Amino acid sequence: MRNYFYTTIFSVALVLISCGKANEKDAMATTESGSNTINKKVDSLLAIMTIEEKVGQMNQYNGFWNVTGPTPSEGGAAKKYEHLKKGYVGSMLNVRGVEEVRAVQKIAVEETRLGIPLIIGFDVIHGYETLSPIPLAEAASWDLEAIKKSAAIAAKESAAAGINWTFAPMVDISRDARWGRVMEGAGEDPYLGSKIAVARVQGFQGDDLASPNTIAACAKHFAGYGFAESGRDYNTVDVGTSTLNNIIFPPFKAAAQAGVKTFMNAFNELNGVPATGNAYLQRDILKSKWNYDGFVVSDWGSLNEMIAHGFAANKKEVAELAVKAGSDMDMESYAYVEELANLVKEDKVDEGLINDAVKRILRVKYELGLFDDPYKYCDESREKEVIGSQEINDAVLDIAKKSIVLLKNEGNLLPLKKEGQNIALIGALANDKTSPLGSWRIAAKDSTAISVLEGLQNYKGNTISYAKGADVTIGKGEFAIELNINTTDKSGFSKAISTAKRADVVVMVLGEHGFQSGEGRSRSELGLPGVQQELLEAVYKVNKNIVLVLNNGRPLTINWADAHVPAILEAWQLGTQSGHAIAQVLYGDYNPSGKLPMTFPKSVGQVPIYYNYKNTGRPKLPAPNEVFWSHYTDQSNAPLYPFGYGLSYTTFAYSNLNVQVVSKNEVQVSVDLKNTGKVTGKEVVQLYIRDLFASVTRPVKELKGFELVELDAGISKTIHFVLTEKELGFYDNEGHFIIEPGKFNVFVGGSSNTNLEANFDLE
Residues binding ligand BGC (CB under 6 A): 123, 167, 220, 299-300, 519
Q: Which has the closest alpha carbon to 610: 224, 254, 173?
A: 173
Q: Helix, strand, or coil here: 243?
A: helix
Closest distance of CB 574 from ligand BGC, Å: 21
Look at residues 121, 83, 149 and name the one whose alpha carbon lies nearest to residue 377: 121
Rounded CA gap, 299 and 60, in Å? 11
- Rounded Cα–Cα distance for residues 296 and 327 (Å): 5
Complex with ligand BGC: residue 167 or 688, whichever CB lies closer: 167
Residue 300 or 652: the one with the smaller Cβ distance to ligand BGC is: 300
Spatial contact of 480 and 503, defined as CB atoms under 8 Å apart = no
Cα 175 to Cα 231: distance, rounded to the nearest angstrom:
9
- Closest CB to ligand BGC among 176 and 299? 299
CA angle 182, 169, 640 (to 5 degrees): 25
Least spacing, CB of residue 210 vs ligand BGC, in Å:
24
Kindly tell me which of 136 and 406 has the beta carbon lying closer to ligand BGC.
136
CA 77 vs CA 66, 70, 83, 248: distances in Å: 10, 12, 10, 38
Write the burial class of residue 514 (CB in 10 Å: 0-12 exposed, 13-18 middle, 19+ buried). buried
Query: Which is nearer to ligand BGC, 415 or 553 (by Cβ)?
Result: 553
Give the DSSP H or E segment for 673.
Answer: strand 666-675
Residue nearest to ligand BGC (CB): 167
Q: How far is the CB of 200 from ligand BGC (least distance, A)?
A: 14
- Smallest distance, Å, CB 179 to ligand BGC? 12
Smallest separation (angstroms) from ligand BGC to the CB of 397: 26
Give CA–CA dist 399/41, Å, rounded.
41
Helices (DSSP H) in 73-189: which residue ranges? 75-86, 98-106, 135-139, 144-160
Closest approach of Cβ 205 to ligand BGC, in Å? 17
CA distance 725 to 645: 27
Output phi, psi for 685, to 5 deg.
Answer: -80, 120
For residue 716, the cross-strand partners are 674
Question: Could you tell me which of 296, 282, 343, 356 has the C-alpha nearest to residue 317?
Answer: 343
3-class DSSP state for residue 113?
A: coil
Phi and psi, residue 447, nearest 5°: 60, 30
Nearest to 333 by CA among 276, 295, 249, 404: 276
Q: Indicate which residue of 123, 299, 328, 398 is catalytic.
A: 299
Nearest distance, CB of residue 418 and ligand BGC, angstroms:
43
Whether 176 is a known active-site residue: answer no
Q: Which H or E element spans position 196?
A: helix 190-205
The least distance separating ligand BGC from the CB of residue 117, rounded to whole angstroms, comes to 20
Distance CA 132, CA 21 (A): 52
CB-CB contact of 569 with 542 (8 Å): no
Q: What residue type is 259 in one-letter code? A: G
Q: Give the three-state DSSP class for 322.
A: helix
Closest to ligand BGC by CB, 135 or 644: 135
> How far apart are alpha carbons 102 and 735 in whole angstroms?
46
In angstroms, the first-to-last Cα distance of the chain is: 67
- Is 58 exposed, middle or buried, given 0-12, 13-18 or 19+ CB atoms closer than 10 A? buried
As a whole number of angstroms, the distance between CA 263 and CA 583 comes to 38
Report helix angle 144-160 to 390-402, nearest 10. Answer: 150
522/612 with CB nearer ligand BGC: 522
Minimum CB distance to ligand BGC smaller for 163 or for 470: 163
Separation between Cα atoms, residue 210 and residue 206, nearest integer Å: 9
748: β partners: 687
Do β-strands 405-409 and 567-570 pair in parallel, antiparallel, or remain unpaired? antiparallel
Backbone conformation region of residue 369, classed left if phi is above 0, alpha if psi is from -120 to 50, else beta: left
* Local structure of 760: helix, strand or coil: strand
Question: Using CA atoms, how far apart are residues 420 and 439, in angstroms rounded to an integer?
Answer: 38
- CA 201 – CA 114 distance, rounded (Å): 31
Nearest CA to 718 among 681, 760, 690, 685? Answer: 685
Which residue lies nearer to ligand BGC by CB, 88 or 222?
A: 222
Nearer of residues 252 and 540 to ligand BGC, judged by Cβ = 252
What are the percentages of helix, strand and coil residues in the chain, rounded to 5?
Answer: 35, 20, 45
Question: With contact defined as beta carbons under 8 Å apart, do 139 and 597 qualify?
Answer: yes
Q: Find the shortest distance in angstroms from Cβ 188 to ligand BGC.
A: 19
Residues assigned a catalytic role: 299
